[in-house]
Amino acid sequence: MKINLRTFIKHSGKDFHNQSVNPPVVRASTIIFKNIGEIENTEKKYLKDPRSGNFNYGRQGTATTYALQRILKEMEECYKVYLTPTGFGAVFLAVLSVVEPGDEILVTDSVYSPTRLLTQDYLRKFDVKSIFYDPKNFDDLKNKISNKTKLIFVENPGSNTFEFQDLKKILSIAKKNKIYTAIDNTWGTPYLIKPIKLGFDMSIVSATKYYSGHSDVMGGTLAINKKVFKLVESTNRVTGLRLSPDDAYLILRGIRTLDVRMDKHHINALKVAKFLSKQKKVTKVYYPYKKNSQIYKLWKKYYSGASGLMGLRIKSKNKKSVKSFVNSLKLFGYGYSWGGFESLALYQSQRQLGARGYTNLNSDEHIIRLHIGLEDPSDIINDLKQALKKIK
């Protein structure tokens, strides 16, 4: 019987052997066997199908991490899912798996700033060149493709400024030029969009965010298609990236309510975005709320919903008053990350935005990132209303 994803995440992964709704935490460095023959048989099964959950050492995983992989594989509709200790670990695994010295990478300019550091700075010493393209201009991407381009790395929407791109156009030109593709899909997760099904080779999600949903775990996932499997498998084997069973358990438990939470984040964020769009001190709301806008059209083309993360552009010559606005929020926490049940606010300095070439801000313009949590939306709006009075 074919079931909806909402039903699937509630019923998958049950452990009838231990008679538990959620699989137990299995911690292991040594995977114990009855004899040498059993080890050899397990290794043969692993070599035949590395997706089968036949492990001979704890670095490869345990029953707990494998349970999470099975659920995510179905959610992503992909060939295999790799688990990493952090979301950025999944970015690292994706990029390092496909590039070689002499290659070029095309990266969206509004990418997560640590990803920029990895591609722009760290990989330079391995003779891998990163070229950044304007996420609002497909021709800019197209014109920067060369015979050395090995990978197009997309983050959709962009970090902090939330540019949405026409993903099918990117995939079409990548396929035409035999270029690998990767996307950071943390904002949407496969609940809202399935990048591998759409045609991407690799899809990254920071499990720290919405998968966990409770701001108390770190983790990352890399979903792949069959084309890049051997490359990623060999890289994963030598990098030693491993998600702990305890974190896998918490992420697995969080996924059970992913749909309910994401739907509520969207409802709350939409109400907040519409409120903020009417405030004179807010010159732009980075969120797909305005029908017939380019952002809305591209979001609607690919996504079944939206998450709770948005950005604001505020115009003020008084930087201290903008920071005072953020500091006056009573229901918002101040801190990095997002995706939990609580609302968060962060003033985005130039360092946090990264050394961008296509985010044009005047000296009197400021970016604020908001994560809209699961509180009552009227309370969130009232909190924002009182804090906006601080801006001069």
Per-residue pLDDT of 211-269, as tens digits, reads: 999 999 999 999 999 999 999 999 999 999 999 999 999 999 999 999 999 999 999 99
Domain coordinates in residue numbering, the chain: 5-27+62-255, 258-388
Of residues 20 and 162, which shows the higher confidence score?
A: 162
Architecture of the domain whose range is 5-27+62-255 = 3-Layer(aba) Sandwich (3.40)
Output the pLDDT for position 9. Answer: 81
Output the pLDDT for position 194. Answer: 98
Diameter of the chain measured on Cα atoms: 75
- Please report where in the chains the tokens 């179905």 appear, as a residue: 74
- Please report where in the chains the tokens 């809305």 appear, as a residue: 296
Amino acid making up residue 26? V
Residue 295 pLDDT class (50, 70, 90 cuts): very high
Kindly provide the residue ranges of all beta strands, DSSP E only, lying in 34-92, ordered along the sequence: 80-84
**Separation between Cα atoms, residue 247 and residue 25, nearest integer Å:** 9
What are the tens digits of pLDDT across the range 128-158?
A: 999 999 999 999 999 999 999 999 999 999 9
**Separation between Cα atoms, residue 337 and residue 34, nearest integer Å:** 44
Output the pLDDT for position 167. Answer: 98
Query: Is 97 strand, coil or helix?
Result: helix
Can you tell me the mean pLDDT for 1-17? Answer: 74
pLDDT exceeds cutoff 80 at 300: yes
- Count CB atoms within 10 A of the CB of residue 17: 9
Residue 370 phi, psi dihedral angles, 5° rounding: -120, 135
pLDDT exceeds cutoff 90 at 270: yes
**Separation between Cα atoms, residue 181 and residue 52, nearest integer Å:** 26
- Burial annotation 64-88 (CB, 10 A radius, 16+ → b, else e): bbbbbbbbbbebbebbbbbbbbbbb
pLDDT exceeds cutoff 60 at 16: no
Any residues with CB less than 8 A from the CB of 237 and at least 6 apart, and which? none
CA 322 and chain centroid, separation: 28
pLDDT exceeds cutoff 70 at 369: yes
Query: Is 389 strand, coil or helix?
Result: coil
**Separation between Cα atoms, residue 250 and residue 269, nearest integer Å:** 25
Kindly provide the residue ranges of all beta strands, DSSP E only, lying in the chain, ordered along the sequence: 80-84, 104-108, 129-133, 149-155, 180-184, 202-206, 220-224, 282-286, 309-315, 332-334, 343-348, 365-371
Across the chain, mean pLDDT equals 93
Q: Topology of domain 258-388, per CATH?
A: Aspartate Aminotransferase, domain 1 (3.90.1150)
Query: Is 225 strand, coil or helix?
Result: coil
CB of 96 closer than 8 Å to CB of 239? yes
CB of 68 closer than 8 Å to CB of 222? no
Output the pLDDT for position 15. Answer: 67
